[in-house]
Amino acid sequence: MVFRKVITSIVLVIVFFSCFSQTGGLTTYSFLNLPVPARTAALAGNTIGLKDDDVNLVAQNPASLNGGMSNQLSLSYINYIADINYLYATYAHSFDSIGNFAASIQNVGYGKFKETDEYGAEIGTFRANDYNFALSYAYDMDSMFTCGVSVKTIFSKYYTYSSLGNALDAGLTYRNKKKQFVASIVLNNFGYQWRTYSGAEKEKLPAYFNIGISKKVAKAPFRLLLSYENMNKWDLTYSDPNNPEPTVDPFTKEPIKKSKFRTGGDRLLRHLVVGTEVILSKNFNLRVGYNYRRRKEMTLPDKGGLVGFSMGLGFKISKFQFSYAFSKYHAAGNVNHFTVTTNLGSFVKQNK
C-alpha cells in the first residue's frame, strides 16, 4: 500500500514539474549543478543511485542520509577551471526518535578581479563568490524506503551586485540490501530568487528531476551505476548560434537528412551518466565514469581526448577516508577534486 502511494506521488510530481523545464544558460545559480565531493566527480557527476554510509552522498540526494553517517565530517576542495576554486563541508548527526540530519556549506570563489575606471586605469580589486548553505533531513519510511529533503539558502556577491534565493531538494530512495540494489528519484533546486543582482525580473533556478540506480554485482568486486538526468526535458541538444550546424549540403545544395534513429539515440544518451566502482578491498576502490552529454558539448571537432570521462580512487588510512577525482571537461580543462572524511565519534571513543 505504501509503495503504491509513493509511486502515485512520484508520477503526479513529474507531470507537474514538466511545466518548469529548464535550459542550460537560462537560469541563475548554475553553480548548484557542479559535482562537489570527489566520489561524485569520479563517477561522472551523478551518484543519486548510491546509498551507503558516505555523508557526501547527501550533496545530491537527501534521501541517502542515514544513521551510518552520524557524526561524520567531510571537507572537499576542488581546483576548478582557470582561477576558480570551490570548497564544500558537511556534517551529519542522527537522533533515534526523530531521524537523520545534516548541514553543509558550499563556496565557489571565482578569483580576484581588477577594478578599473572608464579610462582603464586600475583603481582597486574585487572578488566574486557564490554560497550555498543547506540543512537536510531524512526519515526511514520502512526497511527499504527513505525520503529526504534539503533546504538551501543561496547567496551570491559579484562586486557590488548580490542576490539571495532559496531552493529545495527532495528525494526518495529504495534500497534492497539483500540484492544490493538501490533506486532513487530526486528533485533538485526547485526554488525562488528573492533578490536579483540588478533589481530586474526574477530569474529561474536550475531545477531538474533525476533518477538513478546502482547494483553491486554478486560475487564480483564492482558496482554499476546508471543515472537518467533531466527527466523534465527531452531535448538537451545545444546549437551554437555563432556556429550552427549546416542544413544544406554545400556541394549538392540538397537538404541534409538526419536519421530519426540517430537523432533519438543522441537525445537519449545526453540524459545518461554511467559509472562503476571497483572494490579492490574494504579500504580501497577505483572509480570510473562517463558523461556523454559533457563530451558532446565540450569536445573540440578535431580533438576529443578524454573529454566526458572521469576517474578517481578512494582509500582509508586509520580514521580518515580520502578520495580523489580527475575530470576532463574540455581540451584545456582538467579538474581535480579532493575529499577527506572522518567520523568524529571515533576520536571520542578513543579518549575514554
Confidence of residue 173 (pLDDT cuts 50, 70, 90): very high
Chain segment 241-255, per-residue pLDDT in tens: 666 677 776 777 677
Percent of the chain with pLDDT over 70: 89
Answer whether residue 240 is part of any domain: yes
Where in the sequence is the domain holding 72, given as residue range(s)? Answer: 36-317+330-351
Answer whether residue 28 is part of any domain: no
Q: What is the mean pLDDT of residues 295-321?
A: 87
Distances (CA, A) of 339 to 54, 76, 77: 11, 4, 7
Confidence of residue 313 (pLDDT cuts 50, 70, 90): very high
Answer whether residue 227 is part of any domain: yes
Angle at 261 between CA 257 and CA 265, to 5 degrees: 120
CATH value at residue 232: 2.40.160
Domain count, the chain: 1
Answer whether residue 126 is part of any domain: yes
Answer whether residue 69 is part of any domain: yes
Answer whether residue 170 is part of any domain: yes
DSSP letter for each residue of 111-166 = EEEEEE-TTS-EEEEEEEEEEEEEEEEEEESSSSEEEEEEEEEEEEEETTEEEEEE
Answer whether residue 13 is part of any domain: no
Residue 63 gets which letter from DSSP? G
Q: What is the mean pLDDT of residues 345-349?
A: 78
Amino acid found at 39: R
Answer whether residue 293 is part of any domain: yes
Q: What is the mean pLDDT of residues 38-60?
A: 95
Helix, coil or strand: residue 322 = strand
**196: CB partners within 8 A, 6+ apart:** 163, 202, 203
